[in-house]
Chain A
């Protein structure tokens, strides 16, 4: 992990490969909590990590389609009894 020290109003730049632009993360406020400003090229989504972990779980739940879902759910419900 790269560790960088920054003050308020300073920022870091993450340069994306192949001219896809830059991501800028700016420290807006420091204190007990810090406030960050984040700018990305179009098409990039920024998540709070704890939300993102739920996004991944939801995507997994949505794509969890065994060949015969009804059969799988029936078996699952029997196992749970």
Chain B
């Protein structure tokens, strides 16, 4: 079933029930928010996405596809993740903090978001690996 949701950045959006992402292990500090939708902007492509709460129009996160960082960023998930997300392959995103000065944008590599595209279950998982919580996306000299 397709439902309409109000959002701050996109106005009213239509989301198919089967596309709703459900956090089975919530975002740290956002334990009351479980249902989200992934929204892309066609001009930007799929390197960045919006993670829009379906419970609060004002709550929205920017996600970054960490594939360009794969020379050093290789998240290793504990086996127990299967209990949270279900078996299968997972899509990894990292949360992006964008201040007014976008050159200071950072991503959280310590605790990425993992999505099971089959079950639509999502979790923020703190990795055992020693990655920074605030990794600068843009090099100073760029």
Contact = CB atoms under 8 A, between A and B. Distances in A.
- Classify chain B's interface size: 35 or more
A16 interface: no
B72 interface: no
B59 interface: yes
A53 B105 CA distance: 17
A73 B29 contact: no
Contacts of A22: none
B15 interface: no
B87 interface: no
Interface residues of A, number: 25
14 contacts: A51-B28, A51-B126, A55-B29, A57-B95, A57-B111, A58-B28, A58-B95, A59-B29, A62-B61, A69-B98, A70-B9, A70-B41, A77-B47, A80-B137
Interface of B: 9, 27-30, 41, 43-45, 47-48, 59-62, 68, 95-100, 102-103, 105, 108, 110-111, 124, 126, 133-134, 137-138, 142
